[in-house]
Structure 1
Amino acid sequence: MDYSGSAGFRQRKLPAKVRTRGPMHNVGDPSHLFEDTSGNMEAPMSGHGYEGTAGFGLTRQGILSDPMMSNLAMAYGSSLASQGKNIVDKNIDRFIPVSRLKYYFAVDTVYVGKKLGLLVFPYMHQNWEVRYQQDTPVAPRVEVNAPDLYIPAMAFITYLLVAGFALGTQSRFSPEMLGMQASTALIWLVIEVLAILLSLYLVTVNTDLTTIDLVAFAGYKYVGMITGVVSGLIFGRTGYYVALGWCCISIVVFMIRTLRLKILSEAAAEGVLVRGTRNQLRMYLTMAIAAVQPFFMYWLTFHLVR
């Protein structure tokens, strides 16, 4: 036998065994199933990629620190903000006439005092026409005959507060009752305005009355309602009927003298025959609008005084 060949064979196989045992001596250990390569990834991160990021940050800071670029950015931002504001204002004006609503809230303390006096004592007032300036009516604060929304809005809120107080004195107050009172008054107001608009359309009246004007005129009756309820709380049922009756007569006179000019404003441009027939319808419509106010005033207040 040639042992030298066997020895040579063993010598040749020995390095192979060493190579195979090296990586496989800890196969049973789960921690060595995957090789940790986090150390090898640190080198690329510390190379060109990191330098590029740092360079980008320095470049961005340099741009922001440039006064010209900062001014351009501020000018561009302000122009975008103004364009966005204009777009929002145009879209809002499509549904809610904000510019027109500003006119109805252009009031002051003197106007409010005069208007309240006119609503309660309209008998001595002579001139009921609204002054115009360049084809537009003047603001309510300088024209007591102009309609406004401030008094109707505040009167509606005050009416709810007085109604809640009256219900509390009768041990009948509850949030549900107050909410029902508010919803009932608001629903009747909407029905009244819609009925007036439909009547004007059926009678074919060409008038400058707008929906906001009708809401303002229909909301003036809350002043008399508040007066009647407060008088009833102080003087009882007798005081309620006396004060409410006075306010009902006052609101009828106020509505007739105010709406008569509004509804009959286009009558002069029509023929004699057409003018005569339509004037009668317009007068009947004006009387009906004025006459329905006391019914609403009594219906919304009689249960508050006992």
Structure 2
Amino acid sequence: MDLPHQGYRASAKPRARAAPSTSDSILFDDTSSAAPAMNNPVYYTPGYNMAGPSNDVQGGAVPNNMFTDPMANAALMYGSSLANQGKDIVNKEISRYMSVNKLKYFFAVDTRYVLKKLMILMFPYTHQDWEVRYHRDAPLTPRQDVNAPDLYIPTMAFITYILLAGMALGIQKRFSPEVLGLCASTALGWVIIEVLVMLLSLYLLTVHSDLSTFDLIAYSGYKYVGMIFTVLCGLLFGSDGYYVALAWSSCALMFFIVRSLKMKILPALSSDSIGTGPSSKPHFRLYITVATAVFQPIVIYWLTSHLVR
């Protein structure tokens, strides 16, 4: 019974001696030597990648390599060329339907021009010189010539008219988003129809003039100024004030349209007497001018009468 017990104790002693092996010392040395390597940054020579992308970013090697790499430079140049080509294509497509430079011309206004233009629209009878001025065969900008058409006043007047229509409908407790949207779309649609009819008339009668599409939009959009004045007078003074303001703004706008279009549609009689055909007959041009002027009071009444009750 003692011999097995002694053998068991003898076999246990070597296991006790094997516990402090060399592997523990190696594991301890590796972890202690790896800690400084993680805490202390290691700087390498430029162009030498030793520990992957993270060490290059930490040492600042990636930005330098990216801009000095020929492939990266080629890709950057190719991307820039593609962006420039795309910009040129977009500008070309836009210029096919709308000239950006010409559109900027109609918004080249200042406060002095806006005030003088509004006075001419409401009191055109005192204005004497209606001729549009040119410089090197190019018309002067609106801020330089008060007779030049613009799109700033029609745009702001259209927005103001929509806001005023919403206020009028709200006072009468008839406001709703659908009614206001219908009012805005109707007002914009009448201008589009008027411009299209004007262009078609000039084309069918072969009338050559200096009028562009933007000019027609500007002259057609000036009616919003009279519409604002008419609605305000109707809200403040009732139906009597509305009809007085309607008569005044209609007559003023008709006078303004005739005197403005006369310089562009009605040329001098000496130039009309040359040649044959419908384009050489001034009465066709006179009919177009008068019809455009007479059409303005009808639209003003149609777009403002339902707002004043």
- For residues 138-183 of structure 1, give each alpha carbon's deviation from its aligned partner in whole angstroms, at most 9, with x where no partner exists: 1111111111111111111111111111111111000010011111
Q: Aligned pair 1:115/2:141, yes or no?
A: no
Report if aligned partners of 2:272, 2:282 keep a CA contact under 8 Å in 1: no
- Distance, in Å, in 2 between the alignment partners of 1:97 and 1:65 is 40
**Structure 1 residue corresponding to 2:188, chosen from 181, 186, 189:** 186
Of 159, 162, 174, 1:160 maps to 162
For 1:12, the equivalent position in structure 2 comes to none
TM-score when normalising by structure 1: 0.75
Distance across 1 between alignment mates of 2:203 and 2:79: 49
Q: Please, which of 285, 288, 291 is the counterpart of residue 285 of structure 1?
A: 288
Q: State the Cα distance separating 1:83 from its structure 2 match.
A: 3.6
Once the two structures are superposed, residues 2-58 of structure 1 have per-residue CA deviations (whole angstroms, 9 ceiling, x without a partner) of xxxxxxxxxxxxxxxxxxxxxxxxxxxxxxxxxxxxxxxxxxxxxxxxx9x969x98
Closer, same or farther: CA 118–140 of 1 in aligned 2, 3 Å: same
- CA displacement at 1:117 relative to structure 2: 0.6
Asked if structure 2 preserves the Cα contact closer than 8 Å seen for 1:207 and 1:266, the reply is no
Q: CA deviation at 1:78?
A: 4.4
TM-score between the two structures when normalised by the length of structure 2: 0.74
Shift of 1:79: 4.6
Q: Which residue of 2 aligns with 1:248?
A: 250
User: Is 1:301 the counterpart of 2:294 in the alignment?
Assistant: no
Change (3 A) 1:276 1:214: closer
Q: How many residues align?
A: 255
1:255-270 matched pairs, under 5 angstroms: 255-265=257-267, 268-270=270-272
Question: Structure 1 stretches of 5 or more lacking a match?
Answer: 1-50
- The more displaced of 256-265 and 79-88 is 79-88
Structure 2 alignment gaps of length 5 or more: 1-48
Give a deviation string over 1:189-241, Cα, whole Å, max 9, x none: 11111111111122210011111111110000010000000111111111111
- CA deviations over 1:54-73 (Å, ceiling 9, x no partner): 69x98987631539887776
CA 1:61–1:198: 2 relative to 1, 3 Å: closer
| Partner residue of 1:228 out of 227, 230, 234 | 230
Moved more, 268-277 or 150-159: 268-277
| RMSD, aligned α-carbons | 2.9
SS in 2 for 1:263: coil
* 1:234-275 CA-partner distances (Å, limit 9, x unpaired): 111111111121111000000000001110237543436859
Structure 1 counterpart of 2:206, from 199, 204, 207: 204
Contact kept in structure 2, 1:206 and 1:266, CA below 8 Å: no
